Structure formats: structure tokens, C-alpha cells
Amino acid sequence: MNRVKEIRKEREISQETLARYVTISRKYLSIIEHQQATPSISIAMKISKALGVSVDKIFLDLSSAEMPIYPKPIRFIDLFCGIGGFRYASQYAFNKLGLEGRCVFSSDIDKYVQKSYEANFGEKPAGDITKIDASEIPNFDILFGGFPCQAFSICGLQKGFADNTRGTLFFDIARILKEKQPQMFVLENVKNLVNHDNGKTMKIILEVLRDELGYHVDYKLLNALDFGLPQKRERIIIIGSKKPFFMDWNFDVKEKKTLDNILEKNVDKKHYASSEIVAKRKAKHTASVYPSIWHENKSGNISSYPYSCALRAGASYNYLLVNGERRLTPREMLRLQGFPDSFKIVVSDTQTRKQAGNAIPVDMVERVIEKFLPLAF
Ligand SMILES: C[S@@+](CC[C@H](N)C(=O)[O-])C[C@H]1O[C@@H](n2cnc3c(N)ncnc32)[C@H](O)[C@@H]1O
């Protein structure tokens, strides 16, 4: 008797994906799963690595199979918290998994962000993380953080992450991980992180996380559009655990929100572009779908889609126009990022636009956390 099928299903890994990873045919995997063959030691080892469960627990010791053991509650910290994209996502994932999660620390340097976060989660985030010693942070099990992408100026000759990354906000993540040793982390960054500084930035990040801090790490470029949100927003998600794991990055998302679900019906006049701007856009472009969001790129070309291009914190005012006529309202922007309508808007339109533009798509990271948690503990 082996537990390959049972554990594979628990991990939501398809037979095809596991077979490809182990480099055996799907048919042979199926034979193993039906207890009709005993695999060689090397194949058993590969299966064990892919499933993140030791060989003996899959093939020998059936009585004490390695099931995730979660702390109760699971304590997490929300670094570079913004308006709490990770907080919502993790809460939804904990609920789905029947787990209790508790945020024990949050930090963001921006006073308007702190105001929004406090109004919605009842606690004011601590400020500048570079000024906070890791010993001041309570112990925790998971670190979440969408950190700004910065070049590491000194590298190559120096030894250790402190020398290689000092002065960047990744350094602060690394020093907190080093001191607090949580079981798991999920980090988020812009798509460009992998090409940044000719790939050097990402290389150092992975080396620090893997070689210096001893985490098992994987990463993937994901798009909010594939997670049911009508926004093309590509982000790198980096996940890590103390335990070896195999993450299947395929997600089966059935429920999709459309622009019709996002757009408000009665929109204040202040959100409309001037008649000159609207006329100029309409002279240049005709949309083939309705409703649509019109996007003007840097060279002034207009395109339109039944979804939004990525919201950006510092974008020009009319960069995105609904049906070529009006800007998105703060509520619509929050919806495009997967924030619930219960999210209280307590700052100006300008600040909310910036905050929504910086946020992480909740639906996307929720699915990642939901799948990764059982692999990480
Ligand atoms: C990309 S946003 C993260 C948004 C967040 N994931 C969300 O869902 O809203 C990065 C955040 O880092 C914050 N930040 C930048 N420098 C910081 C520092 N030194 N200490 C704490 N927060 C900082 C910014 O104010 C910004 O809100």
C-alpha cells in the first residue's frame, strides 16, 4: 500500500504534473497509485520530493502519515502592508482551510496608508521598517510582504546578505526572517523583478533566501486576469517554507468577475474627463466591446479591452478611462484589486487611487496562500 494518490489529491497536484516532475509516464504513475507496482528507490524519492512528504510516510509508515500540523492560531506579520491585500487574502484562505489566523504585527511608512489600514483592521501599522529591530516584533509563523524593488548596489565581492543587500528593503525582510525563523513566507513584487539589473537582483534574493536563510523557495509570475479579476496585472510571487515542497502553480479558477460586476452605475461628474479629452480619444479610437477600459500608453496610442490594464500608483490622471469617458472611481479601483465593498474609504480620492494602485490582487494571492499553506506546514 502506498499513499501517493491520496497525498497528491490533498496537494491538488494533477497526475500529469506529478508524472512530468518525476519524469515517468502518467500511465506508470497511475499503476503505482493503484498499488499495482512498487517504484524504484529513485522514483520513490522523486515522488516524495514532489509531494513534500518523506518517503517512509508515503510508502511505509501508513499509520502516522505526515499531515500538516498548524499552530493555533497561525500568527502572521503584514510587512509593507499597504491597505491590507495580504491581510484579506490570508483571512479568506484561513477560512477556507478551517484555520484561525492572527495578525501580530503590521508596518507601513505612509501615514495615509496607516489611516486606511487602521480604519479597516482596527490597528495602526508601525512605521518605517528599517528603524524597527526584529526583537521588537512578536514571534510569528508566516511573513507576508510586497516590498519595493530596488537594485542591490554592492554585490559579488561581499560576503553574506547583510553586505549584499544592506540599504534595500529586502534586507529588512531577510534580517527579520533570520531572527524570527517563521515556517513560511509569501513575497510579492513587480514583473520586472526577474529582469531587474540584468537578473542580478532576483539572483541575490533567491541566494539569500535559500543559501543563507535555509528556506525552500519557489516563485512564479502570475496575472490577476487568471484569477477572475478583470485587471491585467502581472506580479512575481515568491514563496518559501522551512519544509521542502512542490508547488503546482496551475489554478482552476471558475468564477470570473467582469467589468459589469465592477463598474458603478451612478458616477459623480468629477470623475469624467473634459469634453476635449473625450473627443480627442474618440477621434483616435473606437472600442469593439462595451463596457471597456481605454488605456493610453506612453506614446499616446489608445487601446481598449473588456478588462483594465494594471492600476498604477503614480499613473497620469487619464491613463485609464471607462468607455473613453471617465476615470475609475476609488471603489471601482478597489474592486479591481479584489477588495470587498466593506472596505472603508477614509482618505481622499487621490490617496485611494495611489493605495489601490499599490495593492496586491486579493483573489490571486488568496489562491496561492490556500494552496501553499498545507505544503508549508
Ligand atoms: C507595493 S506596496 C504594498 C501594498 C500591499 N501589498 C497592499 O496590498 O496594499 C509597498 C508599501 O511599502 C510601503 N513602504 C515603503 N517603504 C517602507 C518602509 N521603509 N517601511 C515600511 N513601509 C514602507 C509603502 O508605503 C507602500 O504602501
Is 145 within a domain?
yes
Q: Are residues 130 and 273 in the same domain?
A: no
For ligand 1, mutation pick of 117, 358, 369 (most atoms within 8 Å of CB): 358
Q: Are 87 and 210 members of one domain? A: yes
240 and 370 share one domain: yes
The answer to whether residues 105 and 145 belong to one domain is yes
Q: Does the pLDDT at position 215 exceed 70?
A: yes
149 tagged catalytic: yes
Neighbours of 207 (CB within 10 A): 15
In this structure, the residue with its CA closest to atom 19 of ligand 1 is 128
- pLDDT by residue (tens digit) across 117-142? 999 999 999 999 999 999 999 999 99
Q: Are residues 264 and 243 in the same domain?
A: no
> Which one is catalytic: 81, 149, 155, 309?
149
Mean pLDDT, residues 5-28: 91
Give 4 or 38, the one with higher predicted confidence.
4
Ligand 1 atom nearest 82 alpha carbon: 9
| pLDDT confidence of residue 242 | 96
> How confident is the model over 214-240, as a mean pLDDT?
97
Is residue 67 situated within a structural domain? no
Give the distance (Å) from ligand 1 centre to CA of residue 147. Answer: 6
Q: Mark whether 215 and 364 lie in a shared domain.
A: yes
What pLDDT, on the 0 to 100 scale, is given for residue 196? 84
Do the domain assignments include residue 353?
no
CATH number at residue 44: 1.10.260.40
Where in the sequence is the domain holding 269, given as residue range(s)? 259-347
Strand, coil or helix: 240: strand
Give percent above pLDDT 90 in the chain.
75
pLDDT at 64: 47
Q: Which atom of ligand 1 is nearest to the CA of 110?
A: 25
**Both 111 and 181 in a single domain?**
yes
What is the pLDDT of the chain when averaged over all its residues?
92
pLDDT tens, 148-171? Answer: 876 665 444 455 666 666 678 999
Domain count, the chain: 3
Residues enclosing ligand 1, CB less than 6 A?
Answer: 80-83, 85-86, 107-110, 113, 128-130, 146, 148, 169, 358-360
Is 64 inside any structural domain? Answer: no
Distances (CA, A) of 219 to 96, 144, 287, 375: 23, 14, 36, 14
Q: Which of 36, 59, 82 is the last residue of a domain?
A: 59
Query: Does one domain contain both 78 and 225?
Result: yes
Residues 52 and 177 both lie in one domain? no
Say if 189 falls within a structural domain: yes
**Looking at 69-83, 138-152, 206-220, 268-282, which range is the least confident one?**
138-152
- Specify whether 150 is located in the same domain as 272: no
Predicted confidence at residue 157, as pLDDT, reads 46
Q: Compute the average pLDDT of residues 263-289.
A: 95
Residue 15 covered by a domain: yes
Yes or no: say if 80 and 358 are a contact pair by the CB < 8 Å rule.
no
Nearest atom, ligand 1, residue 80 CA? 12
Place of cell 509593507: 80
The percent of residues in the chain predicted with pLDDT above 70, rounded, is 93
C-alpha cell at 324: 473613453
